[in-house]
Structure formats: structure tokens, C-alpha cells
Amino acid sequence: MLGKEGLWGAVDIHGKDLEVKEKVTAVIFAVTSANHNSTRRNPLPLYQRAMMIQDFSSDLGYSSYVVPIDDVGHSEHFGQYTIKKIEAETDGLLRLNSDNTIVLCSTPVVQLYEDLGFRILPVEKIPGKKEEYLTKLPWQIIEGIVADDRPIDKHLEYINYVHPASKRLWKEYGVVEKVRLLFSDAVVGDDGDLTETRNYNSYVREMDEIAELKFNETRDFIRPGRIGDIGCAVGSWIKLATEELALVESDFYGVEIARKLYDICHQRKENGDFHNTNVFFLRKNAVTGLVFPKSSMKTIHTSSLTHEIESYTGRKNLLSFIQNRYEELSLGGVWINRDVVGPEDKEKEVYLWLDDKDGVADAEGKVFSSKEERKKHLDSLSTYARFFYFQRDFRKDQNYKLKYALKTIEGKSFLVLSLKDACEYLSKKDYTDNWDSEMHESFCYWSFSEWKTSLEEIGFKIQNSSRAYSNPWIIENRYQNKSEIWEAVSHSIHSLSDLTPVSWPVTNMLLIAVK
């Protein structure tokens, strides 16, 4: 093995003799993206990666160290950061420099270490060849393993390329199944997030600001026992639930797929933010399978989640999500689902008036160099002008065509369109900081009665306390004085007397579904 008898004859990444006479005294495994797991790039948590490394290095004949290196994004200072991080993590025991250390690496970050004066030993790369490799790269091996569903011991990639140390852990911890699930999952991206377009700073702030409202609306329906909050964001709902005396002996499980939010949950737990020690956070995808054992939960809570499943993954996955929640609940258990909802008569043609005096009248499409520039421009537009940006952007990735017509009646301009599309615009027009995410999401795919029917078909009983309603704050602050919805009372429209105002449509629902 390389290093046991020194590095005599070893050549660097350029094919030049290293001329190293000393024996290797230690190897340092810098585990990058150590704070990532359950992603396609890094499926396993740090502790499992460290276990494999220690198993692998047990017979090297010299010391080995595993040092976690957190993800810092793309940085030209990554090489320096890694060296400093190793020194800090080992309390100064390992002070690496170009005189006492050789770097083993085949990835593009090689250049960052060369710039610091380090010599580089290639791993997979052929010395002296720019983009040629002696063997498959790690992600190519993983992709080969997940490409078909044959038993793992039948895969040549697994047999020929995976070290026995890894094979032992893969078998004991069911790694193959986890990796296959990650690679087959259409819900999350390579870094394990539902969407890459969300501004998490504003998102977290919004979640905390409305946490008490959400909890107060749902508290009377929570049943003690095992309580799960799927899509728990930063754990705000769970935090309030742990303060309830009636739930003091309950166990709480927060499920969050977005890596950044999941990390915040754990930080809050370390800070002692929760009034119950039995609070656990899981990083699982509730769409593609169960996140809790069957018939184990007394309460499952979701808020502002089901519309994202519909929007990002489609109807089939939404129905799967509903079925999974039914399977997880014990008999008499309750699923509390709080979300947006569409109007009952959503395909009805309506006449939408929008204020064209509360901003700039610039409806022409523009190309922006940044999200900040686009937000500034959208914020400057009138409610009327902003509609045309919405019409062009809404669900365009799904080839959705928002149809409308313009009509002027007695000097008053209307957009003639479906009530559903009118509601989609009114509910999203103010989210200019997360415009990309909002344009991807549909709020009005199901009405309240359609929701009830879909849940009852699976076996749920809907409590009478369930309801759809118009959020007073949204109506007062976002709809009133900026918009009006009218409908025709005559077959031919010649004057305003041929129209009648429509009551503000529902915006939200609270569904209490009992197994």
C-alpha cells in the first residue's frame, strides 16, 4: 500500500518524481461537505463516512485522522480554509504546510493547493494527463450502482470498485436502498433542497412571524402521543406545541427535507429552544415513502406543504403523500393540514379590476441581471402592470398558458379570465423577493370540496370543524383597494350594470382528517 515503504518512485499529478525519502507518518482524511447528508452528492452523514474511513485505515500502519470540513460554497480560498480548519479541529496538533504534507486529489480544487505550494499525488487521475483517469470516479460508481435494481452483490461497480470497509457499512446500514431513493427522487435537487430559488432568510423570518397564528388555529385538534410535523421548516410549530401542558408527555418529530432549514432545527435544539427533551428532527422525504412507522402516530401536522408537492412533483405524488399519512396514523389519529386552497367555482369567468395608479405602468417584459434588480422593478409596478409579468411567468416551466382578455366598460378596464387564475395572481403578486418559487407554485388546483372528496376516498373522516376561509389580513392588506372581482349578470356586457361584484374568494383551509 502507498506509504508503507515511503514514497520512493511516486510521481505527482504532472508525472514528475516526488523525490520524497521520508516515510509517511500519518494520513489526514479531510471530509468535505461534512455538514451535508441525504443529498446525491453526499448521501451519508459524517459519522458514517468517518466509520468507513477508520475501518479502511485500520491496517495502514501509521496514524490516521478524520477531520470534518463544512461546505463553504465555491471559494478561491477553499485550500487555505481546509488547512486552517484541520489545524483548528485538531487543536493545533496538525499544522500542515507544503514542506510536511502532500495532497492526494484528482478534482479541480487541485489548483488551489498547488497555488499554496503543495505537491499533489493523483488518486484516479493519470499523472501528466489533463482529463484522463485510471479508474472510475466515485460519482460514476454510485450512478452505476443505482442505474438498475439488481441485488447489490451482482453489480460489477460494487464488486470491483467498492472497498470492503465500505461494503460492510453499506450492508449494515442499508446504504444502497437510501442512495437509490435519493437518485430516483424528483422532489429534491442534488443538494437536497426542494427548490433552489428560495430566499431562505426571508422564508425563515416569515415562518417565525406566523408561527403563533398557525399554532392557535390547530392547537385544539392535536392529540397527545407521537406527534409529527412534516415540513417543519425551522421548528416553530413544534416549539409552541412543547409549551402545552396537555402535551408534556408527548414525543415530537420534525421532518424537514430542505438542508438549510434542517440545520437550523438542530441548532435550535442545541440552544434549548424546545420545552420538551423528546424532540427529534428527521431529514426524510415524505412524498416518496413513509417517514414514520405504520399506525404509530397520534397527530401529523402539515402547513403550507401540500401545494408544494402538487406544484413541484404532480398529482400522483400528492395522492401518494396523502396515502402515506393515512398509513402512518393510528386508529383515531388525526392529520391536521393547513394550506392554501382554490375557490369552489374556480373555472367561472370573472372580470378582474386591478389598480393601475399605485405604481409604474410598465407591462413590457425585461431581462434582469439579478433577483434584486427584478424585485426592485416589480415593486415599482402598479398592481395592473405587474399582472402581465405574472401572466408570462406563471407555471411557464409546465407550459401553462394563462388566458385572458382585456375589456373596458364605462371607462373601467377589466381583465377577463377564470376565477382560478385571478386568485392565483392575487395570492402571489406581493411575493417579489421569491418570485421564481411563487411562479412555480399552484394554489388553486383543488377546491375545499375536492380536498374533502380526495381524503374520504382514501378512508379519512373529515371533522366538521374543517373549513375554507378568506384570511382577513390578506384581504385587507393585499386585495382591498388594489383589486375587485366582478361577474356577469347578463349575456351581453354593455355597462357596469351588467356586472355584479363577487365576494372575496377563499384563500386558506384547515382540514382535520381522522383515521
What is the full DSSP assignment across 89-152? Answer: HTTTS----TTT-EEE--STTHHHHHTTT-EEE-SSBPTT-SS-BSS--HHHHHHHHHSS-S-G
Write down the H helix ranges in 412-463.
Answer: 419-428, 435-440, 448-458
For the cut 80, the answer to whether the pLDDT of residue 193 exceeds it is no
452-469: b (≥16 Cβ within 10 Å) or e: beebeeeebebeeebebe
Residue-level pLDDT at 208: 62
DSSP 23: P
For the cut 60, the answer to whether the pLDDT of residue 86 exceeds it is yes
How far apart are alpha carbons 122 and 105 in whole angstroms?
A: 5
For the cut 80, the answer to whether the pLDDT of residue 340 exceeds it is yes
Mean pLDDT of all residues belonging to the chain: 87
| 361-397 pLDDT per residue, tens | 988 888 888 889 999 999 999 999 999 999 999 999 8
Residue-level pLDDT at 22: 76
Residue-level pLDDT at 343: 97
pTM: 0.68
How far apart are alpha carbons 290 and 189 in whole angstroms?
A: 20
pLDDT band at 207 (very low <50, low <70, confident <90, very high): low
